[in-house]
Amino acid sequence: MSPAKDPAVALPRTRKQRKRLKRKVKIKAKRRAQKKKNLKEKENVTPLVKKYWLQRYDLFSKYDVGIKLDEEGWFSVTPEEIAAWQARRCAGAGVVIDAFAGVGGNAIQFAKVRNSVVNPLACRHVIAVEIDPHKVALALHNAKIYGVQDHIDFIVGDFFQLAPFLKNGYFTNHASSQAFSGTVVEAECIKPKCRAILCRYSLFKVAQAITPNIIMYLPRNIDVLQASELSWLSSPPLDIEVEENFVRGYSKGITIYFGDTAFS
């Protein structure tokens, strides 16, 4: 009769089992570290930013890789899904000009389109203009995370002053649901409605001097009819398309496409 086996004695693990166990330990450790990091980060989030921090993966899918934003960047950056769609709409451009680059959300997506499209003439380069040097540093850092920094020229300056020196391409303007992300424009658009209308008129005129192919991303509560009337500033009037943008079923803004960016 064979001796009874001691249930307390563990059988040696196979090599495959050891590898699987190590992998599980690493995954758990990584999750704990990420959870600890998120809790610490959440404690430092200001009340103004808290709502947007909860939507961080909608803003940047690679947020956990090391994306950086300043306080204004949290509520002025275009959600990644919307920025990617806008970028695909002008994939045939030789040059894309992002007039108010902020922390780089749109510029990164424009550069990704350039980097992924087979046609070498599609969106050859992106010019990202931003008046705040700190935001430019953040945008460059974020572009490196997406691996597109070599396809973007970041320029520190006021778009209104630089516009006469920019090459022809697709001009883009981005605004959040609260205010424009460019410092010069934002100062006007957070004022009464009539000022905001004048601001968009001035901005459109400056952009039109560069190219008729214009994309404007505006607050969801914008007067669409008045914004659409900008197309009549050209002779003949520009083609126009108005699009409401949603993320997870929630309205985030209105995009108006002018010129060749509008679907015919």
pLDDT at 152 over 50: yes
Q: Which residue has the higher pLDDT, 67 or 166?
A: 67
Per-residue pLDDT tens digits for 195-225: 455 677 888 888 888 888 889 998 888 888 8
In which order are the strands placed within the sheet that holds 170-174?
152-156, 125-130, 95-98, 170-174, 214-218, 250-258, 240-247
Q: What is the DSSP letter of 129?
A: E
Whole-number mean pLDDT of the chain?
Answer: 79
- φ, ψ dihedrals at 16, nearest 5°: -65, -40
Q: Are 110 and 99 in contact (CB under 8 A)?
A: no
Tokens of 160: 């209104």
| Neighbour tally for 27: CB within 10 Å | 10
- Taking only Cα atoms into account, the Rg of the chain, rounded to an integer number of angstroms, comes to 24
Predicted confidence at residue 32, as pLDDT, reads 75
Per-residue pLDDT tens digits for 103-145: 999 999 999 976 554 444 445 688 899 999 999 999 999 999 9
Enter the pTM of the model: 0.76
